[in-house]
């Protein structure tokens, strides 16, 4: 299952890569093509957007219903010939740097020319590309083989004017790709869809975490009152008529019997072994669940959540009985954080679904149930009781 997902991600990213130029030619979806009831494109201000304006767009996206995934024969396209060498010409000094494709660098260098065009489509945002790492003259320490993990990378530079002081704040992201630019363009144009290869599309809101990273701004967190309203709206909405049943053929692999927890704070190792009550759950938590929990906690738009793992480290927390991962939720304007011990992957899926306005809950095998059936657990996680008597 895991490998299948990784495989799919690889196929998708390769697909996007091969069609790097495709979205540039495609006109950004006009309003008439939008299914009825979906948000109209956001009107762009004349000047570059401020951070607050970008945050507002992110919030609108998070609040809009996810359009359905549309896949039509994603597998039957003709792969583009892989470039085996690209000469990068620096626009500043004209210096030529040769890239071969031994490590995929020729493709990356070739992508830059598409991205220069792509940057021009990002209207209403003060944004540019810093290419200097690719030029052997501008970047004397360059290793064109790309073997070094630091290898050359493109840097996206976003500038936000401060409305009051007029000062400009700069945000830089290394390792930006053409599909990243596409995500930003889609957000700016008010699209709810993310164009995959050819005619295929998926919900843009699935990429909220990356958009926040690229734009250096976080969606304003929901307040207690806003969450209460979302919970009430979910309770009042009919669940979807059709729900997926999920994968049937799921082969569990042998669980490990030991797991080493490496503390991200102090680097010390704490070993957990199967044997004794609760030990199997702990080994599973450390070896399997924790990486997923860390990833998922970073991808819940509109909720300020983090994971407190300190109970798992014997150095940070000597003598902790029954250690667990603790979810920490901060609501804007509130002093005390909500702490939930023993948070699971399913819990984080529920929170993400609530935050993104989903009506169905997907379990680990992609089986669906009405999200409103899980309201008691969601309320418990958030510490928000129902006001309905
Ligand atoms: Zn140069
Ligand atoms: Zn520690």
Closest-lying ligand to the alpha carbon of 310? Answer: 2
> Ion ligand 1 — residues with CB under 5 Å?
90, 92-93, 95, 135, 137-138
Of the bound ligands, which one is closest to the alpha carbon of residue 91? Answer: 1
Ligand 1: distance of its center to the CA of 20 in Å? 24
- For residue 112, report the distance from its CA to the centre of ligand 1, in Å: 14
Ligand number nearest to the C-alpha of 316: 2
Ligand nearest to the CA of 96: 1
Instruction: Give me the residue label for tokens 């940070």.
Output: 316
Ligand closest in space to the Cα of 268? 2
Tell how far the Cα of 255 is from the centroid of ligand 2, in angstroms: 25
The CA 262 to ligand 2 mean position distance, Å, reads: 8
Q: Give the number of other CB atoms < 10 A from CB of residue 167.
A: 8
The answer to whether the predicted template modeling score (pTM) of the entire model surpasses 0.85 is no
pLDDT of residue 150: 64
CA of 136 from ligand 1 middle (Å) equals 7
DSSP structure string for 257-321: SEEEEEPTTT--EEEEES-STTHHHHHHIIIIIHHHHHHHHTT-TT-EEEEE-GGG-TTTSTT-S
pLDDT score recorded for residue 82? 66
Domain limits of the chain? Answer: 2-27+42-220, 232-382
Instruction: Please give the structure tokens belonging to residue 361.
Output: 């809950």
**Rounded CA separation 105/103 (Å):** 5
CA of 367 to the centre of ligand 1 (A): 52
152 CA distance to ligand 1 middle (Å) = 13
Angle between the 178-188 and 2-18 helix axes, to the nearest 10 degrees? Answer: 80
User: Separation of 149 CA from ligand 1 center, angstroms?
Assistant: 21
How many Å apart are CA 370 and CA 376, to the nearest integer?
Answer: 13
**Euclidean distance between CA atoms 183 and 108, whole angstroms:** 18
Decide if 129 contacts 156 (C-beta within 8 A): yes
DSSP H or E run through 17: helix 2-18
Give backbone dihedrals phi and psi of 193, rounded to 5 degrees, phi first. Answer: -110, 150
Question: Ligand 2 centroid vs 279 CA: distance in angstroms?
Answer: 19
SS3 (DSSP) at 25: helix
Angle between the 290-297 and 345-355 helix axes, to the nearest 10 degrees?
A: 10
Expressed in angstroms and rounded, the spacing between residue 25 Cα and the centre of ligand 1 is 28
Ligand 1 center from residue 139 Cα (angstroms):
7
Residue 21 confidence (pLDDT):
45
List the beta bridge partners of residue 271: 260
Q: Which ligand is nearest to the CA of 131?
A: 1
CB 185 within 8 A of CB 122: yes
- Separation between Cα atoms, residue 219 and residue 330, nearest integer Å: 14
Do residues 196 and 202 lie in contact, with contact meaning Cβ atoms separated by under 8 Å? yes
Strand partners, 129: 156
How far apart are the two ends of the chain, measured CA to CA in Å? 43
CA of 140 to the centre of ligand 1 (A): 10
Q: How far is the CA of 285 from the centre of ligand 2 (A)?
A: 16
For the CA of 266, the nearest ligand: 2
Q: Which ligand is nearest to the CA of 90?
A: 1
H-run or E-run covering 349: helix 345-355
Please give the torsion angle defined by the CA atoms of residues 107, 108, 114 and 116, in that order, rounded to the nearest 10 degrees: -150
- According to DSSP, residue 379 is labeled H
pLDDT tens, residue order, the chain (389 aa): 444 444 433 333 443 444 444 555 444 444 334 333 334 444 444 567 888 889 889 988 988 888 888 877 545 555 556 667 888 999 999 999 888 777 667 777 888 988 999 999 898 899 999 999 999 899 888 776 655 556 788 999 999 988 788 889 999 999 899 899 999 999 999 999 999 877 888 999 889 889 999 999 888 788 999 999 999 999 999 998 888 887 765 566 788 899 999 999 999 999 999 988 888 999 999 999 999 999 999 888 889 999 999 999 999 999 888 899 999 999 999 999 999 999 999 999 999 999 888 899 999 888 999 999 999 999 999 999 887 65
């Amino acid at each position: 299952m895991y490998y299948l997902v990784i495989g799919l991600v690889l196929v998708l990213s390769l697909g996007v890569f091969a069609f790097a130029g495709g979205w540039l030619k495609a006109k950004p979806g006009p309003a008439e093509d939008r299914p009825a009831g979906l948000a109209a494109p956001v009107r762009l201000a004349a000047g570059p957007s401020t951070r607050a304006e970008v945050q507002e767009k992110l919030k609108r996206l998070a609040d809009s219903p996810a359009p359905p995934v549309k896949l039509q024969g994603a597998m039957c396209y003709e792969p583009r010939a892989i470039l085996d060498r690209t000469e990068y010409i620096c626009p500043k000094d004209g210096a030529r740097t040769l890239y071969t494709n031994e490590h995929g660098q020729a493709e990356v260098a070739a992508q830059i020319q598409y991205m220069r065009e792509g940057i021009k489509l990002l209207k209403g945002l003060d944004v540019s590309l810093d290419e200097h790492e690719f030029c052997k003259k501008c970047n004397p320490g360059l290793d064109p083989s790309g073997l070094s993990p630091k290898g050359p990378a493109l840097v996206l530079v976003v500038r936000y004017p401060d409305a009051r002081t007029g000062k400009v704040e700069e945000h830089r992201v290394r390792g930006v790709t053409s599909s990243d630019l596409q995500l930003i363009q889609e957000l700016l144009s008010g699209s709810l869809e993310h164009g995959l290869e050819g005619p295929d599309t998926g919900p843009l809101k699935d990429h909220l975490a990356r958009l926040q990273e690229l734009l250096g701004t976080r969606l304003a967190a929901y307040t207690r009152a806003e969450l209460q309203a979302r919970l009430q709206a979910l309770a009042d909405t009919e669940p979807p008529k059709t729900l997926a049943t999920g994968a049937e053929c799921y082969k569990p692999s042998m669980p490990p019997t030991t797991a080493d927890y490496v503390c991200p704070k102090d680097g010390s190792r704490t070993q957990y072994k199967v044997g004794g009550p609760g030990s199997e759950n702990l080994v599973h938590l450390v070896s399997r669940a924790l990486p997923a929990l860390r990833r998922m906690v970073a991808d819940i738009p509109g909720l300020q959540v983090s994971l407190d793992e300190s109970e798992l480290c014997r150095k940070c927390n000597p003598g902790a009985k029954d250690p667990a991962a603790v979810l920490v939720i901060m609501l804007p304007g509130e002093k005390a954080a909500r702490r939930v011990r023993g948070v699971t992957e399913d819990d984080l899926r529920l929170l993400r679904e609530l935050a993104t306005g989903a009506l169905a809950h997907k379990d680990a095998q992609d089986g669906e149930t009405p999200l409103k059936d899980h309201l008691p657990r969601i309320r418990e996680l958030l510490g928000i009781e129902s006001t309905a008597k």
